[in-house]
Structure 1
């Protein structure tokens, strides 16, 4: 957990720093309930936090920060039904190892496995693959503590008459519905993957992008702006690799070719830290958008951008505010070393990503607010109805979430703002 000796919270990249009034590490659901109920009585804000990988202020608070790192482990599984129930603070790397011991594995993983499972799902973490949705799409049930301190089972844990809107809201929740205390996932049998990384020119990779994406279980590529090379990565079940010679570029440079367990071979090692902006675009518009982005980077940013641009695909899902809700998706991620300026770079390219119908990744840099976001999500109003029902006093709303989820000037926006102002005045007194 990225906490400094002074009590300051620092996220993974170092771009987010704040000092909470309390930094709690509950050991079980009962402790979560007790503290949330007290916060509701006092009018305090509680923000759950996972590993701190997100670079947006989703967890930022000067009141109660609640880490779930002591609530970790696989607590139940059913090999026949392919289900596993994890505690919220379980790291993705640890989850992979625990599930493998039960002869199961997750359908997909993201680019890194640093995150805790609850935080990864809450922010819409995804991997790559045209048939593979984001991680939250495989959330089929669980338990959460609401803003009143009630424990609410959802999905399969709530039985056949469960509330489908609550499950869809929980699949990407931003921690705005409550504190997750268990998560049940739909899984696959444990499986190996064959990974191949190779380099070619970006023009060849773009020409064959859709064929490569359709042919491989996982496919993504990095474009290196300073060289115009692309590193292509494919992963497939052993023996299921496509045998199309047209998908092997002439003179390719092979960088990696190995087979290992899915949870070991999908994530990349990230020794160097970076900040990132990523937008999810309609699949049919993604390459056209990237070509515009590419030209802009070459014209204005090539000398100052030290990191690559990552392209991936994601299957559609039904999360109410999932960035892939209802549409096949291509993602464009802009990375910059965390020791170098990124505001001008990201700010210049974000309008292009928005012009092509992009939805920003919830856990990465972006400038959008509720009035910008609401038109992008058909389930937006339903999500907020679920949120208000579970958290009627706004216990889980920090300033950032207020701006993300509530349109400025609305009655709720003013009410939450006045509550926060009053709490700060009381704290100073």
Structure 2
């Protein structure tokens, strides 16, 4: 997790998986909106760039600071709740693991979450972070109003409509301003009945389109080269607490198996990559039947201590079966040495100039490589393959967006850039990574 104690001017900054490093000359952690506005105004005057680093959990340079790093760590918490219309206003620096317990006190909850909860609300919203569920959207889709500090140091609030600024803010990657407050659409508090089981790959592919509509949340973990997968299913039930002993056993199991033994297996694959296929197939065989029930914010996330690099693509739902069959055939051929499971989720289609779904129901397929193993050739193959399926990379994962291809992925990229220029005329938020994607 991010530690404010480690922030020093000129000190090393790195993201969670340590594939990007920077040495920003200044670090800021403002306590108020007014203080933040003054910081931005000074940077606009000096023509210096700022990046809000969040929890540094992105695998792309989206949050990498070049000149100034800024944290919203001191601007966290629940501001207000309107139970009548199911809305909640938060400081956007609030970490996701803090959100669930805060809402639960009012009998409310987020409609969905991903399996990592270390990110901030601002970071999750700005990069389109998502969970799984074909009827459910990303964190970006929950926002009804954004409170942002523009590139000129002005704090403004913008209600979501269908206008250009809303379409740009839906997924803004921090280029339109610093998101400091958000009004979220929330739902009544609920629990999730969770089941995990081992299943046959081909039968699950055959039933994929019906299964994703028969379950509120469903997620696959495909083990490279194996004929078996892990399937996780969840359904909403009345709010109940997960027994404390069950939580303890669950956490102990995850630490021992998923983070302990898997770390050892990963180290073996790093030093003997040729063992990756055997390790993957072995891992698929030890997946057992498991079930538990608890508050939604207790069930969604899982600890991730074994570090990796990740790239993830959204593809139109109709392309999923062909895509996964090609991936499976590739792994059976032994072309790449990969033991990390591939995560498969679904989401509803969303509007937004930079949304990877572009309004279509989508399957998200996430590919991982253990930290210390070379992912370059593998990820290049994925990138080329995904062109055939209309895949768009997640902004917070490894991607190769550039001025040469951005319009191919996002037909309204120029409209997004128009709004960016209006909100940040001095390019305070435009680092080198983004200069290679959007015109100044």
TM-score, with length taken from structure 1? 0.87
For 1:349, the equivalent position in structure 2 comes to 382
Residue by residue over 1:145-164, the C-alpha shift from the partner in whole angstroms, topping out at 9 and shown as x without a partner, is 111111111016xxxxx783
Instruction: Tell me by how many angstroms 1:325 deviates.
Output: 2.4
For 2:399, the equivalent position in structure 1 comes to 366
Instruction: Tell me by how many angstroms 1:370 deviates.
Output: 2.9
For 1:385, the equivalent position in structure 2 comes to 418
2:317 to 256, 275, 283: 283
Instruction: Tell me by how many angstroms 1:169 deviates.
Output: 1.6
Give me the whole-angstrom Cα distance separating, in 1, the residues matched to 2:105 and 2:211: 33
1:45 to 25, 45, 49: 49
Contact 2:190 2:237 (8 Å CA) reproduced:
no
Unaligned runs of 5+ in 2: 239-284
What does residue range 78-227 of structure 1 map to in structure 2 within 5 Å?
Answer: 78-155=82-159, 164-227=163-226
Give me the whole-angstrom Cα distance separating, in 2, the residues matched to 1:376 and 1:58: 17
Give me the whole-angstrom Cα distance separating, in 2, the residues matched to 1:316 and 1:62: 34
Does 2:40 match 1:36?
yes
Instruction: Tell me by how many angstroms 1:226 deviates.
Output: 4.3
1:269 to 303, 316, 323: 303
Contact 1:200 1:253 (8 Å CA) reproduced:
no
Is the alpha carbon distance of 1:17 and 1:155 closer, same or farther for their aligned partners in structure 2, counting shifts above 3 Å? same
Instruction: Tell me by how many angstroms 1:293 deviates.
Output: 1.9
Provide the alpha-carbon RMSD of the alignment: 1.9
Contact 2:222 2:228 (8 Å CA) reproduced:
yes
Give me the whole-angstrom Cα distance separating, in 1, the residues matched to 2:331 and 2:39: 48
Give me the whole-angstrom Cα distance separating, in 2, the residues matched to 1:60 and 1:330: 28
Residue by residue over 1:233-275, the C-alpha shift from the partner in whole angstroms, topping out at 9 and shown as x without a partner, is 1111138xxxxxxxxxxx9964321111111101122121211
Is the alpha carbon distance of 1:368 and 1:293 closer, same or farther for their aligned partners in structure 2, counting shifts above 3 Å? farther
Contact 1:198 1:252 (8 Å CA) reproduced:
no
TM-score, with length taken from structure 2? 0.85
Give me the whole-angstrom Cα distance separating, in 2, the residues matched to 1:65 and 1:96: 27
Per the alignment, in what secondary structure is the counterpart of residue 65 of structure 1? strand
Matched pairs, number: 390
Residue by residue over 1:149-190, the C-alpha shift from the partner in whole angstroms, topping out at 9 and shown as x without a partner, is 11111016xxxxx78322222221100001111011011111
Q: Which runs of 4+ in 1 moved over 4 A?
A: 2-6, 251-254
Give me the whole-angstrom Cα distance separating, in 2, the residues matched to 1:339 and 1:228: 27
1:60 to 59, 64, 67: 64
Give me the whole-angstrom Cα distance separating, in 2, the residues matched to 1:378 and 1:140: 24
For 2:74, the equivalent position in structure 1 comes to 70
Give me the whole-angstrom Cα distance separating, in 2, the residues matched to 1:46 and 1:163: 29
Contact 2:354 2:410 (8 Å CA) reproduced:
yes
Contact 1:259 1:265 (8 Å CA) reproduced:
yes
Instruction: Tell me by how many angstroms 1:355 deviates.
Output: 1.9
